[in-house]
Structure 1
């Protein structure tokens, strides 16, 4: 090989600024070359002299950190599903144009440029050219192609999200910083792939499969939870969280991913469904797969696959553990990713469910999906992956039983319609909620719905025009939207539509709950005998004081209320249940002045204690993609009841565009208080000097 003083190729310019702009990756990095598959990019070789006559260039690629997969780059335009290149000499430069196939392996590549003699001997080579290749949803030949630019701006480029939580009657918004373009997040995404069980078992085979978004989605679904691998997050669904971070405290994916990587792939504590889904969304968007977070209200967890959730209570309305892990969650979050499914029959392209929350095993691993949303709607439960479980999440029946002291079971409530309601995601044109229930289900009682149920192998629901046997007694639970820290009333209305007076017994039980139906303790119980006159309505009031629920309420601030009505001599009791979320105050965030790139801003964060007791150990946690890394501001003094506290925080915007500043407040007695401020960061126009 020629010594370095006689080399023809003296330097390389990967033209990252131009290439990254054209490939929509400049938000990730402006220095390193990051490109998308199926789209050409160019590299400039600096030469000491023109190529010698009859000499030529040969290009070889290695993919992955271990450089085990060799790819020869063909010198022919339009080489089908192969890498190809052409080049042209301009003065003392050679411009290389490379084109990757639309199904290329994603990952880190090393490019070797070899100068070949007429006898096909290597004269010299340059082998320190590195770049990353991602999926390309802008390329129509890529299986993740999404033809709508507005959708791509939301599901790939938007670093700010809204996740929906709460209950079907009180849907609340959680702003989330996905941060998929923050520093080194892309590297962490590939680190996640490299630490999967598949990669550790057979790196070569795993690397060769990384061109398939179905495979990648399944790997990410497994790796976001740490149940059976080196995954990112450990799940925990009730306190204490003293050896980690409460799931409700997180406001973004970036600190979670950074913490996992810095700890040498040791799992971060703790996550729950919306945290698992949000982190998965960050990783998939970063890799180039259009993704959005979905929330399903009244979500069923059907363990035995019979599409029915059987819940048992004793006569005190306390839930019994009868070895059945079926449950109904107030809400459950997963993600949808957009891709064509060439591995499935026609009609299964589009949005695919991926659920990284560890619930049930899928082919021996805690993962779920990808499963076509279209298959769930049609009841096609034989398609890959995990269609029966997902179908049950949005379609299962709920059957509640009371087990008498003698062991006899009495059916108290059958609910065929409330599972899978208000299925929601953030809208494309702003922070509003978009209801996508129609993507998963046909309208209740419709012919199409009954056809889908039949195909899924379950009985059809009762059509809307068919009524069950009438009951003379009807019970309704009414309540306001109470604020945590206040006293409030729950009203149980019992209507007697019969022609005779009725004597009945009413039991009302209020318990503290988590969002996924774990009971934390009894708040209050009330048992009364009622005289129900014919054609009249009786109202019974249950008063809940702050002291009744404060000692046992969960971090989800949720009260579950059950009303159980029995009439002597009647076989069928009446049971009604309702979940009552306790709302929390919002933080006030003020950022005066215009937000300019690289110019310091001062934010003021204010909060008023709504509780009748002091708050101790207050801390504000602040973050925002393109604005600042996670920062904490501690409140040194106790915050008295009704007291307003304000803190100031300085930060310097690092990126232009619409940015979100997100704040979380936690203390000993009040946690998960959120606030968000929207900023538009601009570049300051340069001052142009004028001479007279």
Structure 2
């Protein structure tokens, strides 16, 4: 017997079903028309039963475990993944009925299907069937969602009919997510460790600093924290696409390409009621300094509770980390990626120009720029719109830099297309290609004219990295983007002099190197090596200049400089040891970087040579210690302490924050008393784990000198 439906979503035949509705056609279960469908009067309903709609037993605990969504259990909402079956139950006393029907609704779209007596499933259709075994006192119905169903909030209603009269009706609600465990899903990931890292892991590391001194920053993804999933779904509902055409938006939500572009645009607030407002001015009054955020949950829930007013403020790593949370919550595998020396090529010529004065001061002369690091995300999906060879990781960038098809978003750009320079492909492949491949032209300007010029084809994108699967360390993905070998230094390395910033001519050369990793409170030690390549003596004017620098800006004012004369004999090389003491930089640098430049001028020929080194001064770390570290158990109280040693040359005080998804229900805040130079302080606290697995205990200390000190501890939580 043919099955009738008014409208169908989640499969491939929406247009056919809509046409059938207008023309009153009847369709077989395979979607083909049979004959005209006469109008029928609605069956009489028993008003007294309809008015007392019952709640379905959604078997939440069983279904959450079946769908690997048990981390959402705190909300008491049924959260399931598409392309898989879930079970709902009715009272066993419901015996006198001829037929059961299920109505599944998303917005104003719905499908009504019969409950079959025997098990069945279909990749592209909603299917319902009775549990042949059932349970004591229950009548169970299994519902199979199509693998291409749309992500969103659904309503579910089961009706029982006897002799064409409605005898029983029960309803419930559920949330449907993408399913990276399902091979037919367009976000399927083949390995369990990848799914655990890129979907289930609720903490991560973000990488910052410079390519020669990479520093890690802990971040709490918070996708399973209370109200976060609801805020992620609100983000889709508040988007301009949904507001313009609700039905079309719901239909398109089956496609991760579409979802990712909507999310990329909605993380920033440039074109819509997005989550975050960017701020790179240095003035964070009226909001939160971007460096102060430690996780996504507080940002997303604050946005939702405010009536969808943007949260102040974000910068690139905050935009990217919040987007990663949203994508993981929706079931789309996602990871945060850092590109060091990231080019912002405004005119698309794959060239970035930089200018220095003859005193070594970096000048701001063009709209092009190089960010010491830039953070975006990669999402895993198939690209049926581009062909199978573009499947896999896709770059998405929610930081508002350039418009993409009229909107401030970026991607999804296939990583493979970037490596193969297939810049004609959508979306924004050419823009991302420039970020990792542009050439850098550097010039020294004196008296309004260029006196020295050089080109560097290796400086942009030397290191592109993300967090390693299962471990708190770097995973280098540079080779995925470029046909070059990465130049990055290991985080565990104590030296960063494997990468130098040098310039040379046929007459002389200069190179700046870091002697050791710069650490706050310590002396910054560098070496300037100068080589005379001629068989005649030289007298050189040496100008050294250090400026503070935000990661995405030209440097600010000079805070340290040296000038002098250097004499070299024929073919002689000399090394000058440079020292910048804590009292000269520690009240200025904070979370900023240092741009150090050396300009050498031949007194006889007026020839100039420039050497540059940009580096990050690593903040001291907070030490987190656990009591009974090997015995951390679910729902038991455990003790911990945070230890801080003041490395600065002056007393400091500050505010300590402690957080941990799955470990603490809310952030703990303590005020730290002033510590003398070299003094040590500690803060004890307790926590009660709410979820098992690898969790991150994160601590952050905002000091009175505007420096933020951070630390983290991975905690393995087990059942009792």
When the two structures are superposed, what TM-score results if normalisation uses the length of structure 2? Answer: 0.86
Q: Aligned with 1:507: secondary structure? A: strand
1:378 aligned onto 2:420: yes
2:480 to 418, 434, 439: 439
Q: In 1, distance between residues paired with 2:400 and 2:49? A: 59
2:615 to 545, 568, 580: 580
Q: How does 1:31-110 map to 2 (within 5 A)?
A: 31-52=76-97, 55-63=98-106, 67-73=107-113, 77-88=120-131, 93-110=138-155
Structure 1 equivalent of residue 406 of structure 2: 364
In 2, are the aligned partners of 1:526 and 1:542 still within 8 Å (CA)?
no
In 2, are the aligned partners of 1:10 and 1:45 still within 8 Å (CA)?
no
Give the Å deviation of 1:533.
Answer: 1.1
The CA deviation string for residues 178-231 of structure 1, in whole angstroms up to 9 with x for no partner, is 121112211111011111121222222212211110011111111111222111
Q: In 2, distance between residues paired with 1:182 and 1:474? A: 56
Structure 1 equivalent of residue 73 of structure 2: 29
Q: CA, structure 1 residues 426+122, in 2 after alignment: closer, same or farther (shift >3 Å)?
A: farther
1:136 aligned onto 2:179: yes
In 2, are the aligned partners of 1:619 and 1:632 still within 8 Å (CA)?
no
Q: Aligned with 2:247: secondary structure? A: helix
The CA deviation string for residues 127-173 of structure 1, in whole angstroms up to 9 with x for no partner, is 53111100001111111011111111111111121111111111111
The CA deviation string for residues 357-378 of structure 1, in whole angstroms up to 9 with x for no partner, is 1111111111110000000000
Structure 1 equivalent of residue 440 of structure 2: 398
Q: In 2, distance between residues paired with 1:642 and 1:8? A: 71
Q: In 1, distance between residues paired with 2:288 and 2:54? A: 52
Structure 2 equivalent of residue 461 of structure 1: none
Structure 2 equivalent of residue 18 of structure 1: 62
Q: In 2, distance between residues paired with 1:129 and 1:383? A: 43
Structure 2 equivalent of residue 646 of structure 1: 682
Q: In 2, distance between residues paired with 1:381 and 1:681? A: 46
Aligned residues: 651
1:563 aligned onto 2:598: yes
Structure 2 equivalent of residue 611 of structure 1: 648
Q: In 1, distance between residues paired with 2:221 and 2:672? A: 31
Give the Å deviation of 1:18.
Answer: 1.1
In 1, are the aligned partners of 2:364 and 2:554 still within 8 Å (CA)?
no
The CA deviation string for residues 95-131 of structure 1, in whole angstroms up to 9 with x for no partner, is 211111111011110012122355xx45145353111
Q: Aligned with 1:306: secondary structure? A: coil
Give the stretch that moved more between structures: 164-173 or 494-503. Answer: 494-503
Q: What stretches of structure 2 of length at least 5 have no aligned partner?
A: 1-44, 487-502
Q: CA, structure 1 residues 80+167, in 2 after alignment: closer, same or farther (shift >3 Å)?
A: closer
Q: In 1, distance between residues paired with 2:123 and 2:640? A: 54
Give the Å deviation of 1:4.
Answer: 5.3
1:421 aligned onto 2:456: no
When the two structures are superposed, what TM-score results if normalisation uses the length of structure 1? Answer: 0.89
In 1, are the aligned partners of 2:344 and 2:371 still within 8 Å (CA)?
yes
In 1, are the aligned partners of 2:639 and 2:687 still within 8 Å (CA)?
yes
In 1, are the aligned partners of 2:54 and 2:171 still within 8 Å (CA)?
no
Q: CA, structure 1 residues 492+625, in 2 after alignment: closer, same or farther (shift >3 Å)?
A: same
In 2, are the aligned partners of 1:278 and 1:293 still within 8 Å (CA)?
yes
Give the Å deviation of 1:380.
Answer: 0.2
Give the Å deviation of 1:411.
Answer: 4.4
Structure 2 equivalent of residue 266 of structure 1: 309
Give the Å deviation of 1:78.
Answer: 4.1
Give the Å deviation of 1:294.
Answer: 0.7
Structure 2 equivalent of residue 463 of structure 1: none
Q: In 1, distance between residues paired with 2:88 and 2:479? A: 47
Give the Å deviation of 1:389.
Answer: 0.8
Structure 2 equivalent of residue 600 of structure 1: 637
Q: Aligned with 2:80: secondary structure? A: strand
Give the stretch that moved more between structures: 230-239 or 148-157. Answer: 230-239
Task: Please give the root-mean-square deviation of Cα atoms over the aligned residues, in Å.
Answer: 2.4
Q: How does 1:249-288 map to 2 (within 5 A)?
A: 249-288=292-331
The CA deviation string for residues 378-408 of structure 1, in whole angstroms up to 9 with x for no partner, is 0000111111110011100111123332x32
The CA deviation string for residues 486-513 of structure 1, in whole angstroms up to 9 with x for no partner, is 3333321101132222222222111011
In 2, are the aligned partners of 1:506 and 1:566 still within 8 Å (CA)?
yes
Structure 2 equivalent of residue 449 of structure 1: none
Structure 2 equivalent of residue 690 of structure 1: none
Q: How does 1:140-289 map to 2 (within 5 A)?
A: 140-289=183-332
The CA deviation string for residues 405-431 of structure 1, in whole angstroms up to 9 with x for no partner, is 2x3234433110121122111111312
Q: CA, structure 1 residues 600+131, in 2 after alignment: closer, same or farther (shift >3 Å)?
A: same
Q: CA, structure 1 residues 313+6, in 2 after alignment: closer, same or farther (shift >3 Å)?
A: closer
Q: In 2, distance between residues paired with 1:572 and 1:304? A: 31
In 2, are the aligned partners of 1:11 and 1:46 still within 8 Å (CA)?
no
Give the stretch that moved more between structures: 541-550 or 622-631. Answer: 541-550
Q: What stretches of structure 1 of length at least 5 have no aligned partner?
A: 446-467, 685-692
Give the Å deviation of 1:571.
Answer: 7.5
Structure 1 equivalent of residue 33 of structure 2: none
Give the stretch that moved more between structures: 520-529 or 273-282. Answer: 520-529
Give the stretch that moved more between structures: 215-224 or 627-636. Answer: 627-636
Q: CA, structure 1 residues 303+411, in 2 after alignment: closer, same or farther (shift >3 Å)?
A: farther
1:388 to 416, 427, 430: 430
Give the Å deviation of 1:238.
Answer: 4.3
Structure 2 equivalent of residue 525 of structure 1: 561
Q: Aligned with 1:217: secondary structure? A: helix
Q: CA, structure 1 residues 265+496, in 2 after alignment: closer, same or farther (shift >3 Å)?
A: same
Q: CA, structure 1 residues 127+367, in 2 after alignment: closer, same or farther (shift >3 Å)?
A: farther
Q: CA, structure 1 residues 11+62, in 2 after alignment: closer, same or farther (shift >3 Å)?
A: closer
The CA deviation string for residues 440-469 of structure 1, in whole angstroms up to 9 with x for no partner, is 011269xxxxxxxxxxxxxxxxxxxxxx99
Q: CA, structure 1 residues 191+11, in 2 after alignment: closer, same or farther (shift >3 Å)?
A: closer
Q: Aligned with 2:423: secondary structure? A: coil
Q: Aligned with 1:635: secondary structure? A: strand
Q: In 2, distance between residues paired with 1:84 and 1:150? A: 31
Give the stretch that moved more between structures: 185-194 or 367-376. Answer: 185-194
